Amino acid sequence: MDFGADVSRLLEIVTHALYSNRDVFLRELISNGADACDRLRYDSISNADLSKGHKGFEIRVDVNAPDRLVMVQDTGIGMTRDEMVDHLGTIAKSGTRNLMEQLKQSNATGAPNLIGQFGVGFYSAFMVADNVKVISRKAGSEEIWAWESDGISGFSINPATAEDSEKLTTTSGTLITLHIKDDASEYLLEEKLKRIIVIYSNHVSLPIYVGTNEEEPINSASAIWMRPKSEISPEQYQEFFTMVSGSMGLDQPSVTAHWHAEGKIEYTALLYVPTLRPFDLYDPSRRHAVRLYVRRIYITDECEGLMYPWMRFVRGVIDSEDLPLNISREMLQQNAVVTKIRSSVTKKLLGDLDKLSRDDKTAFNAFWHQFGAVVKEGLYDAVEHREDIFKIARFFTTNGQDNLTSLDGYIERMKDGQDFIYYISGENVDTMRNSPQIEGLKKRGLEVLLLKDTIDDFWLPVVMDFKGKKFVSVTKGAIDLSKFPLPDADQPTENDNQDGTNNNNKDRASLIAYLADRLSDRISKVRISDRLTDSPVCLVASDSDTDLHMARVLKIHQKYEAPAKPVLEINPSHILISRLDSLAGTDKESEILADAAELLYDQALIIQGEPVSDPSAFARRMSVFLGKGLAA
């Protein structure tokens, strides 16, 4: 018989372009065999005769290397003559017809992508074979039929010969014999076939044997995630974690999430959050490692849209009931089912982590230290999950030592009239804790978040606020703290002559004018600050510019140099500032004043974590001042 025009066209595409990876032919044939077994199992429920004398469900793969043959045999429901003609010779399924319609319209390059969505698994045999013979016996029938094709012109269908009939040793089932192409000899190696089965079909829920008399199945024959939770021991969960995480028994999961979702989408997931950081966590490709199965058949561990990149530390499997088995990678990326699964899985995992934060603080904090920086990528990557990410996000804070706080915790402790969430970002928590920019806030009892992850500088400009409270960088722009008075002891008084001079003029106009002129090539402005209580000076970004630390991060990571100049803020009450102000008022040409201006600026840079521009000049000036101090 001739193949329909559709099938011929399809075969041409399949043989040349459908899968870049030819290994999958075996997965497809095994999956068909497993389906056939499932169907017989189901039909036997209402008609026990169908499996009378049946020897048990299994799939057996055999090789006859001298004759270049690979055999795949199942003990499933089998096919009648007409079924073989219908299912293996025409494209009967409406979905596939649909595909052919689309193929007619699309150009040749788009075709392989389209085709991957539809069930055309059987034809993938022709990727590796130049002749395929199917011998089948339908359950409940005495007849055995043989279908044979070279995958080009058409197929023949005949009653099986006595010799062929003998090969089919079960009460029902199908034997597929592939004559392997010259360029596909690797599939004549049992080892190669075994490896493919372990990769793709390990969790097919019936035994797969390689070799005629082999009694040990090559696969584990059961999908652990499909079993009820109550039947799975902690050891079995751990064993599976070890396998999917590749952690060789060195790690344990901090979260094990095993659930079945029903409703709009149906899937089962068994996912783990490891305790240790996987070695490739910061790999630039940001690839996740969750494996996708469709009805127990392994599809890929490279389904990009299945997990967010900021969930790339998660290990395990997701098994979908709704996806077509033959879906191509390209199609998976924009598949609506995949996107829904991702959203559902993300919600569930964030919920579990939130629960962990309440049930086991130590374990949760360990998790956050390992993976928090990655999770925070989600704050700008996935707006729909932002709220849930904020629930588990923790930050270092000036409130207490080493303590991590949630944003809700911060908001609870906010002072009356406080409208902002204050933060400083930098590389080192201790340096930030002591940085001059937050002195004034600390003294006033205002809490400051200490953000130490590079990623913080990326989500903050996007996120802007939390529960209506704006995030405000304390190293950027002027901050008005006049609402929050300093405690009395720290309140500078009008006649606070800590400098021992009579310079009570707190606007420091002379010094401001002097510094602005002297440092004009490096700073945009000099101004009096609320921010400082102990230190003489600090640098901040101007209102409209990129935050200072952000600018530094951009410089390192993207080789981008912000053209903006920072603002130099001075502490009017500091003894050094008031003395220099006096000096600036009387002797502008003073060498000490010039050196001091440079030293103040360099000091501000160092505190900021920036290098000074001329270290030897800095050292020279410093020595001069030290010498003067010692001489005095």
Binding residues vs Mg ion (CB under 5 A)? 32, 121
- The interface mask with ligand ADP, positions 24-53, x = CB under 6 A, is ----x---xx--x-----------------
**Is there binding between residue 74 and ligand ADP (CB under 6 A)?**
yes
Q: What is the 3-state secondary structure (H, E, C) of 53-88?
A: CCCCCCEEEEEECCCCEEEEEECCCCCCHHHHHHHH
| 298 neighbors 27 (Cβ within 8 angstroms) | yes
Q: Is 540 helix (H, G, I), strand (E, B) or coil?
A: strand
**Footprint (CB under 6 A) of ligand ADP, residues 163-182:** 174
| 409 neighbors 445 (Cβ within 8 angstroms) | no
* Residue from the set 9, 87, 348, 588 that interacts with ligand ADP by CB under 6 A: 87
Enclosing H/E stretch for 28: helix 24-46
Identity of the residue, 295 or 312, whose beta carbon is nearer to Mg ion in the bound complex: 295
Q: In what order do the strands lie in the sheet with 404-405?
A: 404-405, 395-397, 448-451, 420-425, 469-473, 465-466
Identity of the residue, 121 or 436, whose beta carbon is nearer to Mg ion in the bound complex: 121
Identity of the residue, 88 or 345, whose beta carbon is nearer to Mg ion in the bound complex: 88
What minimum distance in Å lies between the beta carbon of 211 and ligand ADP?
Answer: 19
Identity of the residue, 74 or 569, whose beta carbon is nearer to Mg ion in the bound complex: 74
Q: Cα–Cα distance between 530 and 443 in angstroms, integer? A: 11
What minimum distance in Å lies between the beta carbon of 289 and ligand ADP?
Answer: 27
Q: Which stretch binds ligand ADP (CB under 6 A): 71-79, 241-249, 436-444, 452-460?
A: 71-79
What minimum distance in Å lies between the beta carbon of 35 and Mg ion?
Answer: 6
* Contacted by 33, from ligand ADP, Mg ion, none: CB < 5 to 8 Å by type: ligand ADP
Enclosing H/E stretch for 552: helix 548-558
**Footprint (CB under 6 A) of ligand ADP, residues 285-344:** 325
What minimum distance in Å lies between the beta carbon of 184 and ligand ADP?
Answer: 19
Side chain identity at 158, as an amino acid letter? Answer: N
Q: Cα–Cα distance between 467 and 3 in angstroms, integer? A: 64
Helices 5-13, 94-105: inter-axial angle, 10-degree rounding: 70
Identity of the residue, 206 or 550, whose beta carbon is nearer to ligand ADP in the bound complex: 206
Enclosing H/E stretch for 567: strand 567-570
Neighbours of 323 (CB within 10 A): 23
Length of the chain measured in residues: 632
Q: Which stretch binds ligand ADP (CB under 6 A): 76-84, 255-263, 307-315, 565-573?
A: 76-84
Quick one: 312 exposed, middle or buried, by C-beta within 10 A (0-12, 13-18, 19+)?
buried
The count of chain residues that interact with ligand ADP, using the rule CB under 6 A, is 17
Q: Cα–Cα distance between 552 and 269 in angstroms, integer? A: 41
Identity of the residue, 90 or 113, whose beta carbon is nearer to ligand ADP in the bound complex: 90
Identity of the residue, 121 or 253, whose beta carbon is nearer to ligand ADP in the bound complex: 121
* Residue from the set 119, 274, 316, 566 that interacts with ligand ADP by CB under 6 A: 119
| 593 neighbors 583 (Cβ within 8 angstroms) | yes
What minimum distance in Å lies between the beta carbon of 325 and Mg ion?
Answer: 6
| 251 neighbors 234 (Cβ within 8 angstroms) | no
List the Cα angle 499/609/371 in 5-degree steps: 130
What minimum distance in Å lies between the beta carbon of 93 and Mg ion?
Answer: 11
**Is there binding between residue 79 and ligand ADP (CB under 6 A)?**
yes
* Contacted by 79, from ligand ADP, Mg ion, none: CB < 5 to 8 Å by type: ligand ADP
What minimum distance in Å lies between the beta carbon of 121 and Mg ion?
Answer: 3
Closest-CA residue to 390 (of 371, 369, 401, 375)? 375
| 111 neighbors 103 (Cβ within 8 angstroms) | yes
- The interface mask with ligand ADP, positions 340-379, x = CB under 6 A, is ----------------------------------------
Cα–Cα separations (whole angstroms), residue 217 to 29, 33, 152, 336: 17, 15, 35, 36
| 267 neighbors 319 (Cβ within 8 angstroms) | yes
Q: Which stretch binds ligand ADP (CB under 6 A): 70-78, 312-320, 336-344, 485-493?
A: 70-78
Cα–Cα separations (whole angstroms), residue 624 to 381, 535, 617: 53, 21, 11
* Contacted by 174, from Mg ion, ligand ADP, none: CB < 5 to 8 Å by type: ligand ADP
Q: In what order do the strands lie in the sheet with 537-540?
A: 525-528, 567-570, 537-540
Residue written as tokens 């009892």?
445
| 241 neighbors 233 (Cβ within 8 angstroms) | no
Q: Cα–Cα distance between 542 and 477 in angstroms, integer? A: 5
Q: What is the bridge-based pairing of β-strands 465-466 and 420-425?
A: unpaired
* Contacted by 76, from Mg ion, ligand ADP, none: CB < 5 to 8 Å by type: ligand ADP
* Contacted by 74, from ligand ADP, Mg ion, none: CB < 5 to 8 Å by type: ligand ADP
Identity of the residue, 207 or 316, whose beta carbon is nearer to ligand ADP in the bound complex: 207
- Alpha-helical (H) ranges within 414-543 are 429-433, 439-443, 456-463, 509-518
Q: Which residue is nearest to Mg ion (CB)?
A: 121
Q: What is the bridge-based pairing of β-strands 525-528 and 537-540?
A: unpaired
What minimum distance in Å lies between the beta carbon of 31 and Mg ion?
Answer: 5
Identity of the residue, 124 or 582, whose beta carbon is nearer to ligand ADP in the bound complex: 124
What separation, in Å, do the N-terminal and C-terminal C-alpha atoms of the chain show?
Answer: 111
- The interface mask with ligand ADP, positions 432-461, x = CB under 6 A, is ------------------------------
What minimum distance in Å lies between the beta carbon of 174 and ligand ADP?
Answer: 4
* Residue from the set 10, 27, 76, 433 that interacts with ligand ADP by CB under 6 A: 76
Identity of the residue, 174 or 510, whose beta carbon is nearer to ligand ADP in the bound complex: 174
Identity of the residue, 86 or 453, whose beta carbon is nearer to ligand ADP in the bound complex: 86
Q: Is 109 helix (H, G, I), strand (E, B) or coil?
A: coil
* Contacted by 572, from ligand ADP, Mg ion, none: CB < 5 to 8 Å by type: none
What minimum distance in Å lies between the beta carbon of 215 and ligand ADP?
Answer: 22
* Residue from the set 10, 40, 111, 120 that interacts with ligand ADP by CB under 6 A: 120
Identity of the residue, 208 or 551, whose beta carbon is nearer to Mg ion in the bound complex: 208
Q: Which residue is nearest to ligand ADP (CB)?
A: 119
**Is there binding between residue 61 and ligand ADP (CB under 6 A)?**
no
Largest CA distance in the chain: 119
What minimum distance in Å lies between the beta carbon of 122 and ligand ADP?
Answer: 3
**Footprint (CB under 6 A) of ligand ADP, residues 121-160:** 121-122
Side chain identity at 102, as an amino acid letter? Answer: Q
Which chain residues interact with ligand ADP by CB under 6 A? Answer: 28, 32-33, 36, 74, 76-79, 87-88, 119-122, 174, 325
